[in-house]
């Protein structure tokens, strides 16, 4: 006999849906073994569940409705989020469990609305309370039933939940998503990744373009995958005339698998590069007033996720040590000459060894553990 169960999932960011795809495949595999069907409701990219034979999924909203709007529409956006939040609370209350992925500004209010309803709230990819707003950790412990940490050191922020077996390190999703065990030969290509937001690109790409002019190797510009639908003219409006000097790619993983070196804007791409053992330097700049505000609130000595995790792997306080896996060039230090010096002076042997230490620290992917947390008690899975 085939039984059916309903699960609520909220994943409003494109990055969250990348992680959800691996999780969907794992849940589909388990439901086949258990001879059950699973209905998924909430907010997510419906395509994530394509190919899943035992899962029926229907998202209440198109993810494009949650994309950043123009400044003049900020007020409308706030009211939209509040309205949708109330709708999702009501929908989640019809389910036994709710999975919330990242996006704390949307999901913490949602979790609060489910407190006391009998719905088991599982939070996956936790807010970065270790970087700032540490006071939120107690609130998250209080309003969520299960906490799925993807960074090993995060657990220290939730001592009560750990003691009560409500918080655990589940692994890191990139270890499910990257072809780490299938290395490809390195080429002479130099990769440039100036970010995914147009504001970042406007500031960082012109500096990268100056660096590219000094290098003789083939140059690859990695653009965000959602830029793939843009015309040449639209891309040129974003990047400028210098885009013509690069070969364009929308596949960051393939580029990092095979490149000789990469210049990367701060973000998850730094961890992708480290796990794929691609040599790189982190480059980031912002408006001075924004930089000083961030520096005031965020008390970290390094900003790259790969560096932060590497410090944890070395049994140091993550983000608070001077030890680094890779160079970071921030604000005034971000100059073409400093980028070129980082490239020419890079110690590949030491970097490769340290990147392996980071890889071992993360241990394994997260999808299997999260799937079991979601399906245990929802089905007869033990």
Q: Which residue has the tokens 């937001």?
A: 197
pLDDT at position 124 is: 98
pLDDT at position 185 is: 94
pLDDT at position 75 is: 65
Residues 222 and 304 in one domain: yes
Residues 160 and 210 in one domain: no
With beta carbons less than 8 A apart as the criterion, state whether 190 and 260 touch.
Answer: yes
Residues 219 and 299 in one domain: yes
Q: Which residue has the tokens 């299997």?
A: 368
Q: Whats the size of the chain, residue-wise?
A: 382
Inside any domain, residue 380: no
Q: What six digits make up the tokens of 369?
A: 């553990």
Residues 234 and 290 in one domain: yes
- Paired with 57 in beta bridges are 40
With beta carbons less than 8 A apart as the criterion, state whether 267 and 307 touch.
Answer: no
How far apart (Å, rounded) are the C-alpha atoms in residues 290 and 292? 6
Question: CA triplet 347, 310, 101: central angle to 5 degrees?
Answer: 130
Residues 118 and 64 in one domain: yes
Burial code of 348-363, b = ≥16 C-beta within 10 A, e = fewer? eeebeebbeebbebbe
How far apart (Å, rounded) are the C-alpha atoms in residues 84 and 77? 10
pTM, 2 dp: 0.91
Residues 313 and 368 in one domain: no
Inside any domain, residue 267: yes
Residues 41 and 79 in one domain: yes
Inside any domain, residue 214: yes
Inside any domain, residue 184: no
CATH of the domain at 62: 3.40.50.2000
Inside any domain, residue 179: no
Residues 351 and 289 in one domain: yes
Straight-line distance from the first to the last Cα atom of the chain, in angstroms, rounded to the nearest whole number: 19
Residue-by-residue pLDDT tens, the chain, 382 positions: 445 689 999 999 988 999 999 999 999 999 998 888 899 999 999 999 999 999 999 999 999 888 754 444 556 678 889 999 999 999 999 999 999 999 999 999 999 999 999 999 999 999 999 888 888 999 999 999 999 999 999 999 999 999 999 999 999 999 999 999 888 999 999 999 999 888 899 999 999 999 999 999 999 999 988 899 999 999 999 999 999 999 999 999 999 999 999 999 978 899 999 999 999 999 999 877 877 777 777 778 999 999 999 999 999 998 889 999 999 999 999 999 999 999 999 999 999 999 999 999 999 999 999 999 999 887 555 4
How far apart (Å, rounded) are the C-alpha atoms in residues 9 and 58? 10
| Residue 43 domain boundaries | 6-171+364-375
Inside any domain, residue 183: no
pLDDT at position 34 is: 85
CATH of the domain at 335: 3.40.50
Inside any domain, residue 203: yes
Backbone angles phi, psi at 310, to 5 degrees: -65, -40
Residues 353 and 371 in one domain: no
How far apart (Å, rounded) are the C-alpha atoms in residues 34 and 32? 5
Backbone angles phi, psi at 294, to 5 degrees: -65, -40
With beta carbons less than 8 A apart as the criterion, state whether 252 and 228 touch.
Answer: no
Number of domains in the chain: 2
| H or E segment to which residue 10 belongs | strand 3-10
Residues 195 and 257 in one domain: yes
Residues 150 and 204 in one domain: no
Inside any domain, residue 1: no
With beta carbons less than 8 A apart as the criterion, state whether 311 and 317 touch.
Answer: yes
Residues 100 and 159 in one domain: yes
């Amino acid at each position: 006999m085939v039984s059916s169960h309903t699960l609520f999932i909220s994943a409003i960011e494109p990055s969250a849906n990348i992680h959800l795809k691996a999780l969907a495949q794992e849940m589909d595999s388990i439901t086949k073994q258990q001879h059950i069907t699973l209905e998924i409701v909430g907010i997510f990219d419906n395509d994530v569940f394509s190919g899943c034979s035992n899962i029926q999924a229907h998202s209440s909203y198109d993810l494009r409705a949650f994309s950043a709007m123009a400044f003049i529409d900020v007020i409308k956006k706030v009211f939209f989020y509040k309205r949708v939040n109330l709708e999702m609370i009501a929908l989640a209350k019809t389910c036994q469990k709710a999975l919330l992925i990242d996006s704390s500004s949307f999901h913490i209010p949602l979790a609060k609305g489910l407190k006391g309803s009998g719905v088991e709230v599982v939070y996956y990819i936790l807010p970065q309370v270790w970087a700032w707003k540490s006071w939120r950790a107690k609130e998250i412990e209080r309003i969520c039933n299960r906490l799925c940490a993807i960074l090993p050191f995060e657990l220290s922020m939730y001592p009560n939940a750990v003691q009560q077996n409500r918080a655990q390190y589940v692994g890191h999703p990139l270890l499910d998503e990257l072809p780490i065990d299938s290395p490809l030969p390195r080429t002479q290509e130099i990769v440039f990744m100036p970010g995914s937001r147009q504001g970042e690109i406007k500031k960082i790409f012109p500096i990268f373009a100056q660096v590219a002019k000094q290098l003789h190797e083939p140059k690859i510009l990695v653009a965000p995958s959602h830029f793939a639908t843009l015309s040449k003219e639209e891309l040129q409006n974003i990047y400028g005339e210098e885009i013509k000097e690069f070969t364009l790619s929308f596949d960051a993983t393939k580029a990092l698998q095979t490149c000789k070196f990469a210049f990367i804007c701060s973000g998850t791409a730094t961890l992708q590069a480290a796990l794929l053992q691609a040599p790189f330097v982190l480059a980031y700049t912002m408006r001075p007033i924004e930089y000083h505000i961030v520096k005031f609130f965020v008390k970290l000595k390094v900003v790259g996720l790969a560096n932060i995790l590497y410090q944890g792997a070395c049994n140091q306080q993550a983000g608070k040590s001077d030890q680094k896996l890779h160079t970071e060039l921030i604000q005034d230090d971000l100059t073409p000459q400093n980028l070129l010096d980082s490239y020419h002076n890079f110690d590949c042997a030491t970097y490769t060894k340290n990147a392996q230490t980071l890889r071992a620290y993360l241990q394994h992917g997260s999808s299997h553990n999260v799937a079991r947390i979601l399906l245990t008690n929802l089905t007869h899975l033990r």
